Amino acid sequence: MGISVILQSFGLAVGQLSDAQFRRVFLIGIGLSLALLIGATAGFSWFIEWVTPEEAWLPVLGEVRWLNDLLSWGAAFLLAFLSIFLMVPVASAITSMFLDDVADAVEGVHYPDLPPAHRTSFGDALRDTVNFLGVLIGANLLAIVLYLLFAPAAIFIFWALNGFLLGREYYTMAAIRRVGRKRAKALRRENFGTIWLAGILMAMPLSVPLLNLLIPILGAATFTHLFHLLPQGEANAQYRPR
């Protein structure tokens, strides 16, 4: 059942791109994701140029004046590569910002009979986002050891780790609006395997430049559907958190 309900959820998310409300949030999400990556690239390139002297002496080549330009351009290409990894925290941040808007658009079309959802306060959302980003960054820094030890399998380790973290976070954010924090955690444990697999299937395109810009909002919509389509989701959707 796991893979079929995940693919159904993703198909419903993609199918809603024709909806004006959903498309607006989707395009804003792409724009902000791109802006964050461009800003990081520009800032990193500027930093490299700032710390590199205009003139340097190199063995064999002697005095050179083009080193800072070379490093600046090299840094830009390096950061383009690193965007594969940077898009994971970017996706988390974008989703935290737009989850309610995405879920409202999804539920308004596909689940119109549900009562109004509980909207997470800005303070709680900010706290959850900061906490999750800390866990995400810390886990990936520790995973560098595994990447180096098992280099041929590094991409699979990356997908498995970030799939677990992203699936856990996306599902919790989608569920908490309907069933409260405590029940959301219980449902997450009950559907652990499906949620992890859905997270992996989201982490995979996040590692593909340009394609990864489409994933944050589509991921939020997919996990909104996933919450409702899993057996426990529909039965508990009427629960109103206090």
Tokens of 176: 């908490």
In a domain, 109, yes or no: yes
For residues 87 and 46, give the distance between their C-alpha atoms in angstroms, rounded to a whole number: 21
- The share of the chain scoring above pLDDT 70, in percent, equals 76
- Write down the pLDDT at residue 240: 37
Which has more pLDDT, 61 or 17?
A: 17
Mean pLDDT, the chain, integer: 79
Q: Which residues contact 154 (CB under 8 A, 6 or more apart)?
A: 146, 147
In a domain, 167, yes or no: yes
**pLDDT tens per residue, range 29-77:** 888 888 877 777 677 667 666 665 555 544 544 455 555 555 555 655 6
CB of 212 closer than 8 Å to CB of 84: yes
For residues 164 and 162, give the distance between their C-alpha atoms in angstroms, rounded to a whole number: 5
The domain tally of the chain equals: 1
Measure the N-to-C terminal CA separation of the chain; round to a whole number of Å.
32
In a domain, 70, yes or no: no
Per the structure, the complete domain to which residue 109 belongs is given by 2-36+82-236
In a domain, 61, yes or no: no
Tokens of 11: 């198909």
Query: Is residue 186 packed enough to be buried (19+ CB in 10 Å), middle (13-18) or exposed (0-12)?
Result: middle
Judged against a pLDDT cut of 50, whether residue 162 lies above it is answered with: yes
Q: How would residue 15 be classed by pLDDT, with cut points 50, 70 and 90?
A: very high
Which has more pLDDT, 135 or 159?
A: 159
Judged against a pLDDT cut of 90, whether residue 236 lies above it is answered with: no
- Write down the pLDDT at residue 159: 93
In a domain, 213, yes or no: yes
Beta bridge partners of 24: none
Q: Which of 43-47, 80-84, 131-135 has the highest mean pLDDT?
A: 131-135
In a domain, 54, yes or no: no
In a domain, 241, yes or no: no
Phi, psi of 115, rounded to the nearest 5 degrees: -70, 165
In a domain, 203, yes or no: yes
